[in-house]
């Protein structure tokens, strides 16, 4: 599974990075974010593109697993 770490980036950059990673329609992708706006925007984008999104909080970061 591909993992992208968007820590340190503010929106819309995490969504753009996620969109690029989903370009080849992988079955799953893990995205790490470090702010609430990015968490919500990446989650919304993943769901809008047909992925189920599981969010796990890990300290000051969140891990979003996008899966088909």
Q: Where are the domains of the chain?
A: 2-67
Confidence at residue 49, expressed as pLDDT on a 0 to 100 scale: 96
Edge-to-edge, what's the strand order for the sheet holding 52-58?
2-5, 28-33, 61-67, 52-58
Quick check: 23 and 47 in contact, CB under 8 A? Answer: no
Beta strands in 1-68 (DSSP E): 2-5, 28-33, 52-58, 61-67
Q: What is the pLDDT of residue 63?
A: 98
Task: Give residue for tokens 């995490």.
Answer: 14
pLDDT at 4: 98
Q: Whole-structure pTM over 0.85, yes or no?
A: yes
Please report the pLDDT score of residue 28 as a whole number: 97
pLDDT one-digit tens code per residue, 7-65: 999 999 999 999 999 999 999 999 999 999 999 999 999 999 999 999 999 999 999 99
Architecture of domain 2-67: 2-Layer Sandwich (3.30)
């Amino acid at each position: 599974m591909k993992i992208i770490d968007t820590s340190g980036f503010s929106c819309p950059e995490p969504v753009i990075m996620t969109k690029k990673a989903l370009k080849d329609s992988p079955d799953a992708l893990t995205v790490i974010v470090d702010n609430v706006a990015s968490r919500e925007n990446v989650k919304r984008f993943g769901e809008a593109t047909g992925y189920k999104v599981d969010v796990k909080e890990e300290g000051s970061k969140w891990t979003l697993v996008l899966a088909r």
